Amino acid sequence: MDLLNLLLVMTLQSKALYNEAAYIPPQCYTQTIDSQNRVYNPCFTCHQDSIAPNYNNDADLQHSYAFPEYALTNHWTNLFKDRSQEIAAISDAEILAYIRTDNYKVLIDKLSNNDQWDGFVPDCYFNFDAEGFDRDTAGNYTGWRAFAYYPFPGTFWPANGSTDDVIIRLSPEFQQNDNGEFDLQIYKLNLAIVEALIKRQDGVVDLDKIVYDWAPLQKRYMSYVGKAKQKKLAAGLFPLGTEFLHSVRYIDIDEQNNIKMAARMKELRYARKASWRNYGQLEDLALDKIKEKDDFPDRLDQIIGNMEHGVSNKQGWILQGFIENAQGDLRPQTYEEHVFCVGCHSNLGATTDSMFAYARKLPGEKAWYHWNQKGLKKLPEPPNNEYSLYLEKNGAGDEFRANVEIIEAFFKEDGSLKQDMLNKLHNDISLLLYPSPARALQLNKAYRVIVKEQSFKEGRDATITPPKNVHQQIEEDLKF
């Protein structure tokens, strides 16, 4: 191994942190009061009164920047860089050719042929049938299943930088009948049971097909079916062994100027539920977090893990990810880049068992598909007009309040919302979630600059010019 490659490997394997508070997302530094003393609240989407067994109940964070002393300085310095000149140097043809090149298969080939790699090797073919099931090259089921969901407000809207998808897989027992044979109907039913438990909704599962165990008091208790009949089950929790795959991609444009997912991945994120935490254990974890924060307010979180095996969120999940190298090939994330993932998948009130998307799955069997099969166009707004509420409370369409395109489309000069646009939004969320082709290209180029720099430790947000509504330093009087 030459010296340059050796230094690269040592850098990737290092557990030294440039940003010791990398688990605090850059969005948390957004200013909530403008120069005219108008108050904005983008924080409510993540920090909420939670539903058990999520015991984080962090709605109070909507009112304060409750950071450790070290984190009062915003270390996401990429937010404050003007990339206009670098972006202008990248032609439209160059960026389109780049984002239309697949970098996923190369990753699988490299990891599969690396005897020293002991981490997760992606095994989804992104070859989905009419029911959202992934098939390998021989037509066999891989266990992965794509589903459509309402994108979480703000960060993961294509309008703000990336397209993405989420795919679920339950462990083999959930895919098998009592004899241990793969059974598609059994698998569908177990996925529906998980959906009912995560959403805490009746009507998701055909109860006539559910197996019940009789307790001594003649009460009926729902169970999984097939080989997974005896597996632990609880409302609001995924079963042990559940896996999620989340690809974050560039934004492509078709011949009709419609927005679609790009072939090239910015990141591939993987989560596996490696250990079971019951309600009492999860509550104890939340209470321990509160006590530690009270006793040691300036102590930073310690994250266990490494680049090869991922990191633990302390609630049963292992998080692992891959991200582009300077040439655009996917590489394992460093330890610090993994720490970044923990912030959103650990102590937030908005999550369900540390995850976002499955609780937001569109209802019914028709929602099992990948975004490449159907897009967001003509999807109605989520229940309770969630996106309209986000626009109202946030005064913008992104956490940094920097997406001028959304502001001009949905807001009047006095900051009030345009009712005619809201009426259209109720029936077609793509009007809000999709950027114009011109903005899509700019966002792609901005992120490509970060990739070339390999400056992810300073931030991953595809900002073109520095957002004006972000604190570089939190003043002490704003901390509480």
Question: What's the pLDDT at 247?
Answer: 98
The parts of the chain modelled with pLDDT lower than 70 are 1-12, 203, 206-221, 476-480
Q: What residues form DSSP beta bridges with 470?
A: 30
Question: What's the pLDDT at 308?
Answer: 96
Question: What's the pLDDT at 4?
Answer: 44
3-state SS of the chain is CCHHHHHHHHHHHCCCCCCCCCCCCHHHHECCECCCCCECCCHHHCCCCCCCCCCCCCHHHHCCCCCCHHHHECCCHHHHCCCHHHHHCCCHHHHHHHHCCCCHHHHHHHHHCCCCCCCCCCCCCCCECCCCEEECCCCCEEEEEECCECCCCCCCCHHHCCEEEEEEECCHHHHECCCCCECHHHHHHHHHHHHHHHHCCCCCCCHHHCCEEECCCCCEEECCCHHHCCCCCCCCCCCCCCEEEEEEEEEEECCCCCEEEEEEEEEEEEEEECCCCCHHHHHHHHHHHHHHHHHCCCCCCCCCEECCCEEECCCCEEEEEEEECCCCCEEECCHHHHHHHHCCCCCCCCCECCECCHHHECCCHHHCCCCCCCCCCCCCCCHHHHHHHHHHHHCCCCCCCCCHHHHHHHECCCCCECHHHHHHHCCCCHHHHCCCHHHHHHHHHHHHHHHHHCCHHHCCCCCCCCCCCECCECCHHHHC
Number of Cβ within a 10 Å radius of residue 112: 11
pLDDT per position as a tens digit, 260-319 = 999 999 999 999 999 999 999 999 999 999 999 999 999 999 999 999 999 999 999 999
31 close to 471: Cβ distance less than 8 angstroms: yes
Question: What's the pLDDT at 273?
Answer: 98
Question: What's the pLDDT at 67?
Answer: 94
311 close to 341: Cβ distance less than 8 angstroms: yes
pTM for the model stands at 0.94
pLDDT per position as a tens digit, 189-226 = 999 999 999 999 876 776 555 554 444 433 456 799 99
Tell me, rounded to whole angstroms, the distance of Cα 470 from its chain centroid. 22
